[in-house]
Structure 1
Amino acid sequence: MAEFFGALTQHSFLWQALIAGLLASVGCGLMGPFVVVKRITFLAGGIAHSVLAGMGMAVYFAFNPLLGALIAAIVAALLIGWVRLYSEAREDTTIGALWAIGMAVGILFIAETPGYASDLMSFLFGNILLVPARELLFMALLDAVLLLSLTLFYRQFVAVAFDEEFARLRGVPVSTLYLALLVMVAITVVLMIQVVGLILVIALLTLPAAIAGLWTSSLAMMMVLATLLGMLFTSGGLALSYAPDWPAGPTMIVLAGSTYFLALVAQRLWQMWQRHMSLAAQQNDHLRPGTHEPD
């Protein structure tokens, strides 16, 4: 850890990597709770893996891979949302098809691009150390879009997340907001691609929110805690991976996953302690002077 902090003063690419992790954490902190509460993790996984098609095409036609990823993610999100809302086709089958086709098309385009086959691993598992400064601005812009959207329509999104039928009865445009929510998940996926890659993006999207959900039932507080936890996992994973030269993305996910299981154990112990204290308080009340001791 000390070696990492010393290197921060010497290498600008480490600062860029750290900022990229923090920017990605904002996105996963804002949208992760919706994915967890709405139970659309598999859907988000379909969006994430279909993104490789857009990235592969972008590499092949020589334009920004993140822009290609954003276009592919939004198209996949709208298609999956349309199938769920308006089609009789099975949603899980559609997601699985997009998942597989997106990966396959992306690999084909990358394989046909001279000199880019070696970059497939960075697309799949991320390479936060190679995030250029111009893409930090792109990530900041995507974060701003998410923040603005949630600020303007927070109550409506909460209504759709918790009770679609009630929201529909209150006149909320549920279908439109659901599609918008999926598009925002797609934007978040693109935010995290360079940090942890396509394969690990769902873990970073859901684990901080799941940990936060163990300790609070407020969606707003879940967003705050998930954002802070995401920042802890990305910066902590980057620091832990530096000295032994481990891949940064997988290190972040191992840290997040370990914390999740520790949080589950801690919550269970806390519940057992509360139950024990409640039983002890009941016994003390029963044995208090003026009460009858059992025969």
Structure 2
Amino acid sequence: MELFDYAFFRNAIWGSLFASIATGIVGVYVVSRRLVFISGGITHASFGGLGIGFFFGINPLTSAMIFSALSAFGIKWMSDKQGVREDSAIAVFWSLGMAVGIILTFLTPGYAPNLSEYLFGNILTITRTDIFVLIVLALILTLFFIIFFRAIVSVSFDTEFAKTRHVPTKFIEYTMMLFIAVTIVLSIRLVGIVLLMSLITVPQMTANLFTVNYSKMIILSSIISFVGCVAGLFLSYFLNVPSGAFIIFVLILLFFLGKVAKAFIGKSSN
């Protein structure tokens, strides 16, 4: 319990909580819409924004957020308006982001930037400013989902049917792409670019084992994500290894335990 005497540890706990809420909300949409590959493309494209930030001397996360949002819109625009297959559009922006990031990082004057906390995550580096931004994001996402819940659910499962019901599908799709990009960038400190895709898919998959109700999946996946973050945080602190790897390891372990529990419950009921 003496760990809670340290401000950086308390910041990590609070950051984990609000990041789990944000990723829980966005992740259910990603899994429901089968946008996992798109989220992976946006995640890796964000590296280009980091490179731009390092090279021009601006906040790397700010530039990464802008670059990721533009990449998300670009993927959607190319696949919808330009006749490009979605997987091909994802590959273009995925590769572009990584290429730009690598080139500009190595061209950055002075000492080479420390990329480890961005690539692999370091939850202990979360600041009070990061927590405040995550709180704002979680509140905006919650409010947006409350207002447009029925429309989001309709778009998540059957876009064509939603159009026939006069649901503003384009507004929902592009707004959610923006939220996905923002959530990804603000969660980089937790698990890093390399593993971030798992943070917005694995807890949701685990929640989906026990419920198909959209709102219940959001709540359960947020809880699972927070448990994984806290467990990974403790393990990484005591073993002195990157926190991101342990967070994802715990989340995947919880998924397999959930599969076993569901199978056992199924056999017991039979």
Distance, in Å, in 1 between the alignment partners of 2:30 and 2:148 is: 17
Moved more, 192-201 or 76-85: 76-85
Report how many aligned residue pairs link the two structures. 270
Moved more, 39-48 or 13-22: 13-22
Deviation at 1:141, TM superposition (A): 2.1
**1:198 pairs with 190, 193, 196, which one?**
193
Residue 29 of structure 2 corresponds to residue 34 of structure 1: yes
Q: Where does residue 151 of structure 1 map in the other structure?
A: 146
Deviation at 1:115, TM superposition (A): 5.0
Residue 226 of structure 2 corresponds to residue 231 of structure 1: yes
Distance, in Å, in 1 between the alignment partners of 2:139 and 2:178 is: 14
What do you get for the CA RMSD once the two structures are aligned?
1.4
**Contact (CA 8 Å) 2:52, 2:63: kept in 1 or not?**
yes
The one-character-per-residue Cα deviations of 1:165-188 (angstroms, maximum 9, x if unpaired) are 111001112122111121111121
**1:125 pairs with 120, 124, 148, which one?**
120
**Contact (CA 8 Å) 1:59, 1:113: kept in 2 or not?**
yes
> Normalization by structure 1: what TM-score?
0.88
Q: Where does residue 73 of structure 2 map in the other structure?
A: 78
Q: Where does residue 188 of structure 1 map in the other structure?
A: 183
Distance, in Å, in 2 between the alignment partners of 1:212 and 1:115 is: 46
**Contact (CA 8 Å) 1:29, 1:209: kept in 2 or not?**
yes
Distance change (3 Å), C-alpha of 1:67 and 1:116: farther
After TM superposition, the structure 1 = structure 2 runs for residues 7-22 of structure 1, keeping only pairs within 5 Å, are 7-9=3-5, 11-22=6-17
**Contact (CA 8 Å) 2:54, 2:113: kept in 1 or not?**
no
**Contact (CA 8 Å) 1:47, 1:77: kept in 2 or not?**
yes
Deviation at 1:149, TM superposition (A): 1.7
Residue 85 of structure 2 corresponds to residue 93 of structure 1: no
Between Structure 1 and Structure 2, whose CA radius of gyration is higher? 1
Which residues of structure 2 form unaligned runs of 5+? Answer: none
Q: Percent identity?
A: 34
Distance, in Å, in 2 between the alignment partners of 1:143 and 1:263 is: 26
**2:174 pairs with 179, 201, 204, which one?**
179
Distance, in Å, in 1 between the alignment partners of 2:45 and 2:20 is: 21
Q: Where does residue 111 of structure 1 map in the other structure?
A: 106
> Normalization by structure 2: what TM-score?
0.95
Which residues of structure 1 form unaligned runs of 5+? Answer: 277-295
**Contact (CA 8 Å) 1:167, 1:174: kept in 2 or not?**
yes
The one-character-per-residue Cα deviations of 1:208-260 (angstroms, maximum 9, x if unpaired) are 11100000010000000011111111111101221111211111000001111
Q: Where does residue 43 of structure 2 map in the other structure?
A: 48
Distance, in Å, in 2 between the alignment partners of 1:112 and 1:136 is: 31
Moved more, 144-153 or 253-262: 144-153
**Contact (CA 8 Å) 2:79, 2:89: kept in 1 or not?**
no
Letter in 2 for 1:136: I
The one-character-per-residue Cα deviations of 1:69-115 (angstroms, maximum 9, x if unpaired) are 21011101111111232221111011012112101211221222245
Deviation at 1:34, TM superposition (A): 0.9
